[in-house]
A and B are shown apart, each in its own frame.
Chain A
Amino acid sequence: MPDYGRLLRAGEGEAMFLLGNEAVARGLLEAGVGFAATYPGTPSSEVGEVLNEIAEEAGMYFEFSVNEKVALEGAAAASFSGVRSFAFMKHVGLNVASDAFISLGYTGVRAGLVVMSADDPSMYSSQNEQDNRHYAELAWAPLVEPSNPQEAKDFLVWAFDLSERRGTPVLFRTTTRVSHMRGIVRAGPRRPSSSRGSFARDPWRFSLLPAVARRLKGELMRRYGDLRMEAESSPLNRVLGSGSEVGAITSGAAYNSLMDALQLLGLEMDVLKLGMSNPFPEGLVAGFLEGHRTVFVVEELDPFLEVRTRALAQMRGLGVRIVGKMDGHFPLGYEYTPDVVAEAVASALGMRPPSPGLVELGEELPPRPPVMCPGCPHRATYYAVALALRQLKMRSVVFANDIGCYGMGFYKPFEMGDVTLCMGSSIGTANGFSQVTDQPVIAFIGDSTFFHAGLPALVNAVHNNRRMLVVVMDNGTTAMTGFEPPPNAQYGAGGRRLSPISIEEVARAIGAKYVRVVDPYDLRGTLSAIKEALGSDGVSVIVARRECALLRDAELRRRGERIPVYEVDQDKCAGCLNCVQDFSCPSFRVVEGGLVEIDPSLCDGCGVCAQRLVCPPAAIGESREGRERWGPGRRVGARARST
């Protein structure tokens, strides 16, 4: 579980219960895509999880690229060489790839090229909820917005045809509630794919020197006119309903919530559902506005459709009442649930909003915030840093943190996340802090993030004679998104053997003065290196290297070996609670009498807590029991891959 081979084997007409992202992967097979690349990011990651398993058998080349920009540039070159190509990423990933994306509008494409952006309204797993539909406008590119898994597959196939027909990149935009929605998907026919092409030179088209770009802008504007016609007649844009005074224009996940909201309110109204929303189909929308007295614009995040709808009504002199965010009825932020839409529609129509009676437990329940797993090497690294700072009596340290599991160092007990902006910003902001303050600066960054966007910042730091400690939290994988291999891994997508890049050699080559590799499970060694580094001038880099505990568990399980378990000798435990309060492994439990126990079903056997630096009375030791922790089919283990 899960068996992604089904996606390969499914014949035309076969129905499956698929995640939106799985349906996207099937869509790639049906579109005959030969090249796909990504940098993993939730909510887009499962597309890569599927391709990692099936791309090779499907005859498709697939890679986890160093970052989204490189992924898209690779896809662009594949398209220029006649290979249908796909680059996919989370919304903020497109910020990184935007430099390439916007210029691709000028060059245009040869074989179909689609870029998927998975946006994250309500920020379930992201640092912002930017609305990436704006990128379609910036790049003068068509925008396709599916609402459910079936559409995710079907619209994607259509998008590839459009891309090739008009020679344009297409932006394919999902959101969390589409990418992570599961629904019934009927398979279509597969198109044969080829991952090999050949490039016919045409520098006056593909080399964007100013003279070339000036000429191509004219072509881009002409092509945009053709794309307007495509939007007017696209089968992705359709009117549902059979005549009502009130209508609604909607797209994406908001369509689902609108339909559920109308059911809640007992209302029926005509709906113009836009699956291709850029260029804006003005004729279609004007016709819809003319046929209704009131029109709701129901869309998540920014008033992207609403601004265009209002402008159109003004240009055409239409007196229709338009209701949306700009007149205050619909919220400007967070995802639209059926309840949010029902409340807004009711308020605008002067109806009573649905007010369901809810169960009241009358008590605040303890939260369950995300935690680092038992055995996580990051916990040991943070613990060693905390010890070093205490022993050196260093205060007012600035902790610049980054995107990844180790970002949970933000929470207690470590609280070492003062600033986190985006991928790579730990070292980037450390540059500024070390320049304008006299405070010690420590940057924490994962191995995958280090390669993604940390490298240029490290170059900048060394070049500008900064003083900082960079701790690379190297667990050998991109754990948070599903264990994708970073460039320091020996194996890439599909288990291909690749050339691992050494983080410490890169750091030395850049010119960092102090570079050490430590094993975070060895607290004493890690502590002494951190203290040494904090006493050094210039840029110090400590690579805290230890495989992700979940990957190690999966490996032990594969080999049929037991995971060791630690226990507390209650006679020796002094009840100092240092382990619980300062190390805070989730497997510790405070029991009667203020002593500590280890939950054997949670302990991962790392043994870090047994060291005297965590347990001064040495009350913790390995239990003779051990245990068969992972039975077959354990989901996290099943997802984990050796890298």
Chain B
Amino acid sequence: MGSGAPGRSPSQINIVITGVGGQGNVTAGIVMGEAARLAGLNVVMSEIHGLAQRGGVVSVDLRIGDVHGPIIPRGHVDLVLGFEALESLRALDRAGPGATVIMSTERIMPLSVNVGEARYPDIEALKSRAASQGVRIYEIDAPAIALAAGSRLSSNMVMVGAAHGAGFLPVRMEHIVEALKLHFRGSLLEINARAVEMGSEEMRRRVGGPRGRP
């Protein structure tokens, strides 16, 4: 495993899972972590949520492999798994040029933008600026895929699947399903498993088959 980029430890994968409170990115991290554990890998995670119950930034560092602490060193982010467009790009300030971004198309306006004090940034311009520095960016319509899987609320599981499909979660699909079983039951389990499968499928298609991991 590992990105193979220069200066990186080939024996670890570092993922930032970022979004806005209520989007379920902590749950996504837990499922990915449980799956890694079930696959026999070492895994640690850190959760930082701000003061607000809702509407603030929630950021998770997930580290798999030969690591000790849960904080990803600067420039060592392999994947930004972003549930919201602006937050996906904001997380790049900790990433180096070798990073990959898989971001949901979802956009949630900060209060400052809604009240006209600030401008929601031009996401396309930011993406091309990042891409020109070597960052690989994939944007996927997670809410639409989740809806097709059975519930819009499973967007977070589509993103888990996307990380898997792109090769950043080196576990078998059975491990993810096992992990889901630890936390969900009944129809919710089925919908979430389908969402993971569809997210994984989508990314496998996007990154182009067996080359898999970018």
Contacts of B103 in A (CB 8 A): none
- Asked if A337 and B44 sit within 8 Å, CB to CB, the answer is no
Structural contact, A366 and B45, CB atoms closer than 8 A: no
Whether A368 lies near B96 (C-beta < 8 A) is no
Contact A183 B44 (CB under 8 A): yes
Please state if B54 and A550 are interface contacts (CB–CB under 8 Å): yes
Q: Do B47 and A360 touch (CB < 8 A)? A: no
Considering the complex, which residues of chain A in the window 1-48 have a beta carbon less than 8 Å from any beta carbon of chain B? 1-3, 6, 15, 17, 19
Say yes or no: A15 contacts B37, CB within 8 Å.
yes
Contact A361 B126 (CB under 8 A): yes
Confirm or deny: A560 has a beta carbon within 8 angstroms of a beta carbon on chain B. no
Nearest-neighbour CB distance to chain B for A319, whole angstroms, equals 31
Tell yes or no: A199 within 8 A of B by CB. Answer: no
Please determine whether A366 and B120 come into contact, CB atoms closer than 8 angstroms: yes
> Contact between B48 and A371 (Cβ–Cβ < 8 Å)?
no
Please provide the chain A residues from 361 to 407 with a CB less than 8 Å away from any CB of chain B in the complex.
Answer: 361-363, 365-373, 405, 407
B70 at the binding interface (Cβ < 8 Å):
yes
Contact A373 B76, CB 8 Å, known A361-B129, A366-B112, A368-B20: no
**Residue from A6, A263, A590 within 8 A of B182 (CB atoms):** A6
Known: A359-B133, A373-B52. A177 touches B46 (CB 8 A): yes
Is A356 part of the contact surface with B, judged by Cβ < 8 Å? yes
Chain B: which residue is nearest A590 at the CB level? Answer: B116
**Is B172 an interface position by the 8 A CB rule?**
no
Decide if A181 touches B70 in the complex (CB within 8 Å).
yes
A157 at the A/B interface (Cβ < 8 Å)?
A: no
Which chain A residues border B129 with CB–CB below 8 Å? 361-362
CB distance from B146 to the nearest CB of A (A): 10
Q: Are B114 and A580 in contact (CB under 8 A)?
A: yes
A182 & B30 in contact (Cβ 8 Å cutoff): yes
Q: Mark B24-60, 1 if CB is under 8 A from A, else 0.
A: 1011011001100100001111111011111111000
The one of B7, B71, B74, B126 in contact with A257, judged by C-beta atoms closer than 8 angstroms, is B71
Q: Collect the chain B residues with CB atoms within 8 Å of residue A357's CB.
A: 75, 96-97
B153 engages A359 (CB within 8 Å): no
Chain B 85-125 interface mask (CB, 8 Å, partner A; 1/0)? 01101101111110100000000011111111011110000
> How far does the alpha carbon of A590 sit from the alpha carbon of B116 in the complex, in Å?
7
Residue pairs across A and B with CB atoms within 8 Å: the count is 203
The reply to whether B68 and A366 form a contact with Cβ atoms under 8 Å apart is no
- What class of interface size applies to chain B in its complex with A? 35 or more
A631 near B151: Cβ-Cβ < 8 Å = yes
B75: chain A residues within 8 A (beta carbon)? 354, 356-358
- Chain B residues with Cβ under 8 A from A1's Cβ? 27, 183-184
Q: How far is the CA of A253 from the CA of B42 in the complex (A)?
A: 18
Assess the B73–A337 pair: CB atoms within 8 A: yes
Contact A373 B55, beta carbon cutoff 8 Å: yes
Inter-subunit contact A182/B47 (CB<8 Å): yes
Partner of A17, one of B33, B110, B111: B33
User: Is B188 on the interface with A (CB-CB < 8 A)?
Assistant: yes
Q: Is the CB of B73 within 8 A of A342?
A: yes
The answer, among B71, B93, B120, for a CB contact under 8 Å with A177, is B71
The reply to whether A182 and B45 contact each other, CB–CB distance below 8 Å, is yes
B130 in the interface (beta carbon within 8 A) = yes
Establish whether residues B37 and A184, one from each chain, have CB atoms under 8 Å apart when the complex forms. yes
Docked complex Cα distance between A589 and B48 (Å): 28
Is the C-beta of B210 less than 8 angstroms from some C-beta in chain A? no
Question: Given A338-B69, A636-B22, are A358 and B94 neighbors across the interface (CB < 8 Å)?
Answer: yes
Q: B20's closest neighbor in chain A, by CB? A: A368
Is residue A588 contacting chain B, with contact meaning CB distance below 8 A? yes
Q: List chain A residues, Cβ under 8 A from B48.
A: 124, 176, 180
Smallest CB gap from A370: residue in B: B52
B135 CB–A CB distance under 8 Å: yes
* Contact, CB under 8 Å: B130 / A361: yes
Given A256-B69, A370-B55, A633 and B153 contact (CB-CB distance below 8 Å): yes
A636 to B52, CA, bound (A): 11
Q: Is A416 positioned at the interface, with any CB of B under 8 Å from its CB?
A: no
Write the chain B residue with the least CB distance to A601: B108
CB neighbours (8 Å) of B27 from chain A are 1, 635
User: Which residues of chain A are near B56, meaning CB under 8 Å?
Assistant: 368-371
Contacts of B51 in A (CB 8 A): 125, 370, 405, 407-408, 480
- From residue 188 to 239 of chain A, which have CB atoms closer than 8 A to chain B? none
Contact B188 A182 (CB under 8 A): no
Q: Point out the residues of chain B lying under 8 angstroms from A643, CB to CB.
A: none
B207 at the interface (CB under 8 A from A): no
Known: A183-B45, A361-B93, A405-B53. A635 touches B24 (CB 8 A): yes
Chain A residue with minimal CB distance to B150?
A631
Residue A435 interfacial (CB < 8 Å): no
> Using Cβ atoms and an 8 Å threshold, which residues of chain B touch A53?
none
Asked if A358 meets B95 with Cβ closer than 8 Å, knowing A17-B33, A253-B69, the reply is: yes
The A325-349 residues at the B interface (CB cut-off 8 A) are 337-339, 342
Known: A550-B54, A586-B55. A264 touches B37 (CB 8 A): no
Q: How far is the CB of A549 from chain B (nearest CB, A)?
A: 9
Contacts of A371 in B (CB 8 A): 52, 54-56, 111
Complex Cα spacing A264 to B74, Å:
10
The answer to whether the Cβ of A581 comes within 8 Å of any Cβ in the partner chain is: yes
Tell me if A148 is interfacial: C-beta within 8 Å of chain B. Answer: yes
CB distance from A174 to the nearest CB of B (A): 13
Q: Are A338 and B71 in contact (CB under 8 A)?
A: yes
Tell yes or no: A479 within 8 A of B by CB: yes
Q: Which of A358, A360, A368, A590 contacts B115 (CB 8 A)?
A: A590
Closest to A368 in B: B110
* Residue numbers in A under 8 Å from B20 (CB-CB): 368
Contact B126 A550 (CB under 8 A): no
Q: How far is the CB of A579 from chain B (nearest CB, A)?
A: 10
Q: Are B43 and A359 in contact (CB under 8 A)?
A: no
Q: Which residue of A lies closest to B73 (CB)?
A: A338
B173 interface residue (CB < 8 Å to A): no
A3 touches B183 (CB 8 A): yes
B42 touches A184 (CB 8 A): yes
The answer to whether B184 touches A365 (Cβ under 8 A) is no
A358 to B86 Cα, complex, angstroms: 18
Residue A634 interfacial (CB < 8 Å)? yes
Please state if A182 and B33 are interface contacts (CB–CB under 8 Å): yes
- CB B144 to nearest CB in A, in angstroms, measures 15
Q: Determine whether A260 belongs to the interface, using a CB cutoff of 8 Å to chain B.
A: yes
Would you list the 4 A-B pairs with minimal beta carbon distance, nearest first?
A: A356-B75, A256-B69, A370-B52, A366-B118
Interchain Cβ contacts under 8 Å between A and B, 11 examples: A3-B183, A177-B71, A260-B69, A261-B73, A356-B7, A363-B121, A365-B121, A370-B50, A584-B115, A590-B115, A590-B116
Known: A15-B37, A368-B56, A479-B53. 12 other contacts (CB 8 A): A256-B69, A356-B73, A359-B95, A366-B112, A366-B113, A366-B119, A370-B52, A371-B55, A580-B115, A590-B116, A631-B151, A636-B54
Q: Identify the A interface with B (CB < 8 A).
A: 1-3, 6, 15, 17, 19, 124-125, 148, 176-177, 180-184, 253, 255-257, 259-261, 263-264, 337-339, 342, 354, 356-363, 365-373, 405, 407-408, 479-480, 550, 577, 580-581, 584, 586, 588-590, 631-636
